[in-house]
Structure 1
């Protein structure tokens, strides 16, 4: 039988049901413990998760918050960044990276990505530094670390902060060290679809700086260290107990889930031989956790239709780069300012990628793409 005529169930870009069915009993038991203690906002379940997640990232501290966007927002606040300041942000990222800069009243300065790794381009960073520049947010995009050494050196040379946006990179390694501990702070998302996703919303900040850690605890809790005494304008950005409990359960499985993603990625890299597709370059110093597996193709819409016809449902991530979003029209960026980011936005397709994919499904994706 022709491979394209095989009758199999649709392969989704992401299928959360499989993961949650496999650990449903553990999750529900954890929820019962939260319920019995009525520890629904912050509390011991969040504190336990914070310690365990800091251990994964090999940092001294971790602070749980309500989502990854808040993590970035509070990190900038803790660094004292505000109106009149500039923060350099890659144009090729999810918009939340830029939102955080805007939320504190600073201005995002977008830079292009590299043509090969699709990560922030250190050369472009250096070109955009001004007297107003206070920080660079580097993004470990799709789960692959950016060139931390190159960007860190630029930050050190210019006396500015480095923040890691590690929202897609839980457990990723840069030169054998986990991401999240290289900059002043690392910011994570625990959105349900992430490699480590809460049953609900969640985010986290890692740091080795006790001053930042203490400040973050206050900022997420209405600017309060002692109850009802508010030393600064704060926010209601605590992590919930149910989210913390579910993340503790999942954290145990994260290494094996990431390993399985790497296996699937290796299969894609070695066996998708169709020259119509381009893949993200993997430097030797980066160990991705493949939150997404993205390919470039001449016409993503045509490829999507083809894949749908063969029971494969791809995804599209970031079809409009940050600098061309309507929300940032006032910054006066134009088409052509970031050619690499713009090319990716208009040519990328995300292939199915999750730890629970079967070998048959992986092979099916490969075969269908090779016959495109």
Structure 2
């Protein structure tokens, strides 16, 4: 069986340093916001090319902290509108709503699955204050156009880079350094995954970074002195330890994912399968390799019968979720088409050439 994602095999490559660093972690006696978190924050900021890296408990909390910090700075207010791609993971919407803001669903570009500039322009109103640009499946959104449009309308731009660790834009800047501020997730299945939950925020804005650091730690800048209504949203020291070990391997792992994607795109020859758009640049790190197929159930059953696991990211569009039932009446045909027909194929840095060939041959035989 070819697993969709073999996390044990991915992390087994780091077994010895994990064991060594875990022993040092235990011996340190310092388990919250210690040396490893500080080191990772410095390392990850440097990797992304930003002044600040701030470790958080997870990617959703990272987004909430960003929006809450903007409210504390007076740049956002309750019920301000945030433009969000309609086909993203629900966390993007939850962050906006938990922050007392109003999400506005924007149809994606069917070729890239990312925000469509023309659709963004249609949704801008006097109440629009920010754009949440999601780099879905690991491919950077059209940030040059988004930033230009945002500047014209005086909008904040926030990156949801939870799936795009290490992706490089055409200006040679990485995801996380293409907007005012960015949120990352280190959920174990991510290209840079922890061994539990974790997240980070990157920004070049000193004032914003200071407020976020305060908010993630009970609204405190000094022990037992609390200036704001804060949260407990800190990155765990032990997860930072694991991330520090894995970060130097990220670029090589991303390159392996791109090599696999190139094989899929060049060798899968089946008219029933629509392959993802890819311009052969480093702007895509293929966190997921997503294809479109008309009869998804038949296709996934066929692959399972041939011992190939698949997943669907995501089977139900956010506006059709019970949690967001207030938006159920929205007409979003592109989003609904995507969610009805997408399938994620196995892709990871530990797939073997034999497994890659088997996936290609099986799909061509479908």
TM-score band by shorter chain is over 0.9
Quote the Cα distance in structure 2 between the aligned partners of 1:232 and 1:21.
42
- Listed as ranges, the matches of 1:185-334 within 5 Å are 185-283=181-279, 287-334=283-330
Determine if the alignment matches structure 1 residue 354 to structure 2 residue 345: no
Quote the Cα distance in structure 1 between the aligned partners of 2:21 and 2:332.
46
Tell me, yes or no, if the aligned pair for 2:320 and 2:327 is still in contact at 8 Å: no
**Equivalent residue number for residue 149 of structure 2:** 154
Tell me, yes or no, if the aligned pair for 2:311 and 2:345 is still in contact at 8 Å: yes
User: How far apart are 1:177 and its partner, in Å?
Assistant: 1.7
User: How far apart are 1:285 and its partner, in Å?
Assistant: 6.1
**Equivalent residue number for residue 139 of structure 2:** 144
1:97-152 Cα distance to aligned partner (Å, 9 max, x none): 11000001111100100011111111111111111111110100000001001111
Query: Is the partner of 1:295 in helix, strand or coil?
Result: strand
Determine if the alignment matches structure 1 residue 338 to structure 2 residue 332: yes
- TM-score, normalisation: structure 2: 0.97
Tell me, yes or no, if the aligned pair for 1:320 and 1:345 is still in contact at 8 Å: yes
Determine if the alignment matches structure 1 residue 95 to structure 2 residue 90: yes
User: How far apart are 1:323 and its partner, in Å?
Assistant: 2.1
Gaps of 5+ in 2: none
Quote the Cα distance in structure 2 between the aligned partners of 1:169 and 1:35.
32
Aligned pair partner of 1:364 in 333, 358, 362: 358
Number of residues of Structure 1 aligned to a counterpart in Structure 2: 361
Tell me, yes or no, if the aligned pair for 2:2 and 2:308 is still in contact at 8 Å: yes
**Equivalent residue number for residue 166 of structure 1:** 161
User: How far apart are 1:283 and its partner, in Å?
Assistant: 4.0
Aligned-CA RMSD value? 1.1
Tell me, yes or no, if the aligned pair for 1:118 and 1:280 is still in contact at 8 Å: no
Determine if the alignment matches structure 1 residue 35 to structure 2 residue 26: yes
User: How far apart are 1:275 and its partner, in Å?
Assistant: 1.2
Describe the shift of the 1:20–1:284 C-alpha distance in structure 2 as closer, same or farther (beyond 3 A): closer
Quote the Cα distance in structure 2 between the aligned partners of 1:138 and 1:295.
22
